[in-house]
Amino acid sequence: MPRDQKGEIRRGQLITTYGVGSIVAFDDESFMVAGADEWGTTGMEIHEPRLERRLGVSGFRLPPASEDGEDIPVVRFPEWGHCPTCKTLDRLKRLAGGSRRNTCTTCADVLVPSRFVICCEAGHIDDFPWFGWVHAGSPPAGNQHDMTLESGGLTASLGDIRVICTCGKQATMENVFQREALKRVSSCNGRRPWLTVDETECQQLPRVLQRGASNVWFSITHSALSIPPWSQGAFKVLNARWDVIRYITDEATLRGMITGMRIAEGTPYSVDDLVRVVRERQDGEALDSDATSHDLKLDEHRALIANTPERERGQDFVCVPGDLPDDLRSWFSSVMLATRLREVRALQGFTRINPPSSDSAAQTQPIFESHLDWLPAIEVHGEGIFLELDEGALERWEQLEAVRKRAEVVNRRFHESSGLRSTSVTISPRLMLVHTFAHALINQWSLSAGYPAASLRERIYVDGGIAGLLIYTGTSDSAGSLGGVVASAAPQVLLSNVREAVRRSSWCSGDPLCVESEASGTDGLNLAACHACALLPEVSCEEMNRFLDRALLIGTPENQAIGFFSALMEP
């Protein structure tokens, strides 16, 4: 039986927004993206050795697209809905009489999928228990239980929505979003509609969410930049055959295999060149076999501050020093121009209700049923600017008691919001400063360089002795190679943009409430930051719009000294 095409989404969204297990709305219907096992094998293979070792896979694949002859399979979810005309509430398949058309067999009106779903913190999801909700607290009477969903139309409140059963029971949807609303109604049954097998045991109490809510699905993505030596042409030539030759130690055998497999043919490299590169890569893998995401970031930081000019065709990483304006030397130590970048972003899993963290392994749901040696991923080619903050200026600023107190508030809330999950992450003043400044600069460049904010992306490098940020084109479409970002690093242009970014951060349409805020954002993990001044599209931010405080950039009306860049606004 041929499958119907339900709608279109971009490849990049299958990694960040509409990946496996997420709910996608197309017109009047709602679907869930099926597991990667069902995706087929037409997706092009891509490689990033550092990220492959980090995630324990042999490679990545681009999600298939229609032009490849395959589509991403989906399953209908939620399975329940109602007819807006006759008000009947039932499974959509039953309402449609088993037809693939999304229309009511009684009145021919278009069916509406349920707006409510239930999720647990372990990542399971199921339809809202309509029968249990209307009969909660008492046994159902009689044998006839046909339900209708009616709205009084007098108010927009949930209390105006009523579920009525023909047995005489009825209930409103008031208080349905309370944390323990389902305590006497339903328990989690471990359902995973995106896979064919559910989990048998789950001790979590499910919660009711709207199917379009942002906390129904949080992607767990990992990314890495291609940096030397892996970004060089000879290393890239070996990627497709690396699983075959990576463990060969005998040089004669290695040379014979490279010759027999014709790996060097059609490339500018000789067999000797490739043998040498194999040895270098084997040595590198032995050194960082236990690399963490933090280690990947430190490697990238070292590459970004080094001078890496273009030496050969096909080179994925080119980064050269730029001219830092004298008027910015009190705050920055260097500026680097990454005229060529390649980033690979891979989807590893997802969570529900709680956003992912370094300790959320128990809450992570898989994107496939049988173990695969690959993960879906996209690659982005573009450009960027790297700015390193002056360490001496940072250390003097971090000694201010008011600065430390603001960061301590957010750090305490972060650990409290983690609940029973232990975390070794510390939200430091420099992390909040660098992160907030990155947001300010992205917002400014989206105006001055002509990029939509969603096409720019941040990469934060903060450790004990380093504090830098990379702003780069973060989209796989043509906006990634327009040249506008690197052009913004011209000395006078950079000076003007940094000043304007700081100046714009000094005012928000939500002031004075915003700048005086003691808690904002998810779990109160922001201070002076809101949608009108500091927040970005979710695809642009590494930290899901958390750990932001523009007061650390420009100070507060009572204490401007806590602003790292407050002097930059002086005429």
Cα angle: 56, vertex 274, 266; to 5 degrees = 105
Q: Which of 7, 38, 32 is nearest to 18 (CA)?
A: 32
For 157, which DSSP code?
A: S
Cα(571)–Cα(564) distance, rounded to whole angstroms?
16
With contact defined as beta carbons under 8 Å apart, do 327 and 495 qualify?
yes
- The two tokens of residue 351 are 């969570």
DSSP helix/strand/coil, 208:
strand
- Give the type of residue at 408: E
CA–CA separation, 569 and 571 (whole Å)? 6
Q: Look at residue 256 in the predicted model and tell me its pLDDT.
A: 82
| Unique residue bearing structure tokens 């300790």 | 359
- For residue 304, give both structure tokens: 């970004």
Place of tokens 């088993």: 98
Q: Which residues of 10-46 are buried (b: 16+ CB within 10 A; e: fewer)?
A: bbbbbbbebbbbbbbeeeebbbbbbbbbbbbeebeeb
Local structure of 439: helix, strand or coil: helix
Q: What is the mean pLDDT of the chain?
A: 87
Number of alpha carbons in the 13 Å side-chain half-sphere of residue 467: 24
pLDDT value, residue 190: 93
Q: Can you list the residues of the chain whose pLDDT is less than 70? A: 1-4, 41-43, 66-69, 137-142, 284-294, 358-362, 418-424, 475-483, 570-571
Note the pLDDT of residue 2: 41
> Could you give the angle at which helices 491-505 and 429-448 cross, rounded to 10 degrees?
110
- CA separation, residue 508 to residues 62, 502, 504, 513, 535 (Å): 40, 12, 8, 9, 12
- Look up tokens 């990992």; give the residue: 222
Q: What is the pLDDT of residue 479?
A: 46
SS3 state at 391: helix
